[in-house]
Amino acid sequence: MPGPIQSIERAAAMLRLLARGSGQYGLAEISASLGLPKGTAHGILRTLQRVEFVEQDQETGRYKLGAALLHLGTSYLDANELRSRSINWADTLAARSGQEVRIGVHHDGAVLVVHHVFRPDDTMQTLGVGAMLPLHATAFGKVLLAYDASLARDRELTSLTRRTIVAPQALERVLTQVRANGWASEAEEYMPGEASIAAPIRAFGGLVVGAIGVSGAVDRICDSASRPKPALVSQVASAAEAVSRALSN
């Protein structure tokens, strides 16, 4: 039986990306969001233009959905489906890491927590499902920002602690590093004494649809220099890859 055709999966991911947010992206934003070389992304875009699935604004050079796909839905993978198909790996990550685990998606300019697994100990904890987290000050939000440039465009970076990134140029440098590493972290940028590590969850074609990660006290998540512990980074990245494989099957 023939396997999947990668170019079609990439084209589908591109269309889904264009169906999000403002619906207009530059070539660099598209290639960065999908992790594709610019030449590859441009080739796919030209093909989609030829069949009128994509249009290019002649003044700005930005791309948007074409007339043939004006009604393309943006909810092909809703939060409930993402939660149901990732719950086993979230439980496993909590058990192996000893940390609390969250799964988040973008919603209304923030990270919506759609699943939360308690830390496997006897301490008092509060269920975080439904909580809204800032995009720029959490590892989960940085992952979503890194792979969808439209989310960061013209965004006000509110200071939450003395460590919160509030300069757009500084945030962009961090997001570039997130794309290079394949994961994000933060220490006391959202709340004093708290830290988090997260990695992207991808659907067909590489489109990032959410983030999974661990969070908790800085001394549980980071080493003495406030850097994320390598073992936790590895565990989070492995969990994200496992969920992504499940979504692609």
Asked whether residue 30 falls in the same domain as residue 138, the answer is: no
The one-letter code for the residue type at 107 is H
Asked whether residue 63 falls in the same domain as residue 96, the answer is: no
Asked whether residue 47 falls in the same domain as residue 116, the answer is: no
CATH at residue 44:
1.10.10.10
Asked whether residue 122 falls in the same domain as residue 185, the answer is: yes
Both tokens of 42, joined, read 């441009």
Q: How does pLDDT run across 92-132, given as a tens digit for each residue?
A: 999 999 999 999 998 888 999 999 999 988 777 788 888 99
Domain boundary among 51, 69, 87: 69
Short-list 244, 91, 122, CA closest to 182:
244
Asked whether residue 126 falls in the same domain as residue 228, the answer is: yes
74 assigned to some structural domain: no
Residues 6+ apart with CB under 8 A from 31: 37, 38, 40, 41
Angle ∠(51,57,61) on CA atoms, nearest 5: 105
Q: How does pLDDT run across 15-70, given as a tens digit for each residue?
A: 888 877 556 889 999 999 999 999 999 999 999 988 878 888 888 888 988 765 64
In whole angstroms, give the CA distance from residue 113 to residue 133.
8
Residues 6+ apart with CB under 8 A from 82: 103, 105, 114, 201, 209, 210, 247
Short-list 134, 192, 184, CA closest to 162:
192
Strand partners, 208: 202
Domain boundary among 16, 37, 69: 69
Domain boundary among 69, 92, 108: 69
Residue located via tokens 């661990």: 214
Q: How does pLDDT run across 169-187, given as a tens digit for each residue?
A: 999 999 999 999 999 999 9
In whole angstroms, give the CA distance from residue 63 to residue 196.
34
111 assigned to some structural domain: yes
Asked whether residue 29 falls in the same domain as residue 96, the answer is: no
Asked whether residue 151 falls in the same domain as residue 40, the answer is: no
71-77: which pairs have CB atoms within 8 A and are 24 or more residues apart?
72/15, 72/16, 72/19, 73/19, 74/16, 74/19, 74/20, 76/16, 77/203, 77/209, 77/247
Asked whether residue 193 falls in the same domain as residue 125, the answer is: yes
When pLDDT is averaged across residues 231-237 and rounded to a whole number, the result is: 98
Quote the domain boundaries for residue 155.
Answer: 79-248
Asked whether residue 140 falls in the same domain as residue 238, the answer is: yes
Asked whether residue 206 falls in the same domain as residue 142, the answer is: yes
Asked whether residue 31 falls in the same domain as residue 60, the answer is: yes
Domains in the chain: how many in total?
2
